[in-house]
Chains A and B, each alone.
Chain A
Amino acid sequence: MLEEQFRAAEVKLARTRGLLVALALLLTLVVLSLPGQPLSAEIRGAVQVLFVVQVLLALAVVGRELVRITNAAAERRALRRHAVALLTAHDERRKALEERDELSRTVAGLRALNDHLRDELHQRDEAVASAVHELRNPLTSVQAYGQLMSRNLQSVQRQVEQLERLISDLLSLPGARPIVESEVDLVREAREAASRLRLLTDTEVAVDVDGPGPFLVRGDPGRLGQVLDNLLRNAAKFSPHDRPIEIEVRREGEELQLGVTDHGSGIPSEELTLIFERYYRGTGQRRDVVGEGIGLAVSREIVLQHGGRIWATSPGAGQGSTFYIAFPAARPLEVPDHIPTAVQ
């Protein structure tokens, strides 16, 4: 701003100076051409010198103006170039800005789309979660009925097994099947019979072996297993569900004994021998329990066929009972080669 004002003042000054020089020239010419008495040679000489000086001055002024004009033109060209450069830069910047705006609009659009998709996804997730929840109810009832059915099937299965046992017991008349002679491990048979009972009734059976083995007897493993099954089923029938049945195997001299103890209702002393009679059902509380009444009789037949003994003991009503079977040992007691001597 200040520069412009200064420049304007300078232009005005140059014009004024040019005007003054022109006026001086004009005045000199007028003086020289004035009619009248001729001027003296000195004056004429001075005027001529002055004229020459004035012409030179005028030339200087013109020259200076010419230089100024040339400079101004150059400046204008430079300015124009500058302006063009500026405009170009501006244009580019504007274009960049426009592009940026375009990009922001695209980004905003994408964001909106993203939000929309996320909402949709969320809604779908919720719908799936809700559907899954809805599925849990029918699944619960189907599963429950499935289990009820399977339990009913199990009880049908149990009834079938019981019928099967009844039939096999009825068929087990003396001499109906030959005794297969082999060595039978009473402990192993007891454990297997215990497993069979557990599978059938969920009743806990503890097998206790008293003293060193072997506990081998001669006989038919199938039929001895049948005796054990009968004794265990009998015990499970009369024993409370939460009390375990105990099996104890021990050696008494040349005899191997196996006892099955239950914690049931017990047996009155007068019935202790009657219960081994075929179809005897007992009295008192034992009548409440469903039973075929031949299991013990069949067991006695089998035990006798093996040269063994069978008997029952009971401390009294409500105090449980123990059923024993005893057979001659197939092998003598194994005495270890090296008996450790007690240290005093």
Chain B
Amino acid sequence: MTEGLRILTIEDDAPTAAAFRDALAESGHEVRIASDGRKALAELAGWRPDVIVLDLLLPAVSGHTLLRYLRELPEYRQIPVVVVSGALPTLQQLDGANAVLRKPFDIRELLTLVERLRPRTRPN
């Protein structure tokens, strides 16, 4: 039995976030939701996820800004990020992302992706 991952879902649309959480939780992952960039940063301050699922269109701090910020800080740089976006993102917006899914997508794709991005060893 593979160990469940810690996944931070940053998504402002509550039903979508809930769907991600339910699907990921059903596969044995621990999921936390942040509805915008600021809340995500607050969450990250006390909890280290194995994978981040990031919506690009967010209020307050945009997903792209957050992604750039994460990639600049050594403590978050290694965390894989799956970008999910309703609009087709530009290459620039995807800079630093490990994978991208365009909404709507098959939820199994997300499950497969987070498995593929599973870190070899979990730093504690």
Judge whether B103 is part of the interface by a CB distance below 8 angstroms.
yes
Contacts of A139 in B (CB 8 A): 103-104
CA distance A147 to B105 in the complex (A): 11
CA distance A162 to B108 in the complex (A): 25
- From A133, A134, A144, A151, B19 is in contact (CB under 8 Å) with A144
CA distance A55 to B118 in the complex (A): 137
Contacts of B87 in A (CB 8 A): 133
- From B13, B19, B84, B103, A145 is in contact (CB under 8 Å) with B19
CA distance A133 to B105 in the complex (A): 14
Report yes or no: A144 in contact with B107, Cβ–Cβ below 8 A.
Answer: yes
Question: Size of chain B's interface in residues, with CB distance under 8 A?
Answer: 19
- From A134, A140, A148, A151, B105 is in contact (CB under 8 Å) with A140
- From A134, A136, A138, A144, B20 is in contact (CB under 8 Å) with A144
Indicate whether A137 sits within 8 Å of B103 (C-beta atoms), given known contacts A145-B19, A148-B22. Answer: yes
Contacts of B103 in A (CB 8 A): 136-137, 139-140
Q: Is the interface of A mostly helix, strand, loop or mixed?
A: helix
CA distance A136 to B19 in the complex (A): 13
CA distance A133 to B16 in the complex (A): 13
Report yes or no: A137 in contact with B108, Cβ–Cβ below 8 A.
Answer: no
Report yes or no: B106 in contact with A147, Cβ–Cβ below 8 A.
Answer: yes
Contacts of B108 in A (CB 8 A): 147
Report yes or no: A137 in contact with B13, Cβ–Cβ below 8 A.
Answer: yes
Judge whether A341 is part of the interface by a CB distance below 8 angstroms.
no
**From A148, which residue of chain B is reached at the shortest CB distance?**
B23
With a 10 A CB-CB cut-off, give which of A141, A142, A147 has the most chain B CB atoms: A141
With a 10 A CB-CB cut-off, give which of A139, A144, A145 has the most chain B CB atoms: A144
User: A-facing mask of B52-78, CB < 8 A → 1, else 0?
Assistant: 000001000000000000000000000
Judge whether B18 is part of the interface by a CB distance below 8 angstroms.
yes
- From A136, A138, A148, B107 is in contact (CB under 8 Å) with A148
Judge whether A273 is part of the interface by a CB distance below 8 angstroms.
no
CA distance A145 to B87 in the complex (A): 21
Report yes or no: B19 in contact with A141, Cβ–Cβ below 8 A.
Answer: yes
Q: How large is the interface on A (under 10, 10 to 19, 20 to 34, 35 or more residues)?
A: 10 to 19
CA distance A151 to B19 in the complex (A): 14
With a 10 A CB-CB cut-off, give which of A140, A147, A151 has the most chain B CB atoms: A140
Judge whether B3 is part of the interface by a CB distance below 8 angstroms.
no
Judge whether B86 is part of the interface by a CB distance below 8 angstroms.
yes
Judge whether A168 is part of the interface by a CB distance below 8 angstroms.
no
Judge whether A269 is part of the interface by a CB distance below 8 angstroms.
no
**From B20, which residue of chain A is reached at the shortest CB distance?**
A144
Report yes or no: B107 in contact with A137, Cβ–Cβ below 8 A.
Answer: no
**From B107, which residue of chain A is reached at the shortest CB distance?**
A144
With a 10 A CB-CB cut-off, give which of B13, B19, B108 has the most chain A CB atoms: B19
Report yes or no: B86 in contact with A144, Cβ–Cβ below 8 A.
Answer: no
Judge whether A143 is part of the interface by a CB distance below 8 angstroms.
yes
User: A-facing mask of B80-93, CB < 8 A → 1, else 0?
Assistant: 00001011000000
20 residue pairs bridging A and B, Cβ less than 8 Å apart? A133-B87, A134-B86, A136-B86, A137-B15, A137-B16, A137-B103, A138-B15, A138-B16, A140-B13, A140-B16, A140-B19, A143-B104, A143-B107, A144-B19, A144-B20, A147-B108, A148-B19, A148-B23, A148-B107, A151-B26
Q: A137-B16, A144-B16, A148-B107 are in contact. List 12 more A-B contacts (CB 8 A).
A: A137-B103, A138-B15, A140-B13, A140-B16, A140-B19, A140-B84, A143-B105, A143-B106, A143-B107, A144-B23, A145-B19, A148-B22
Q: Which residues of A contact B (CB under 8 A)?
A: 133-134, 136-145, 147-148, 151
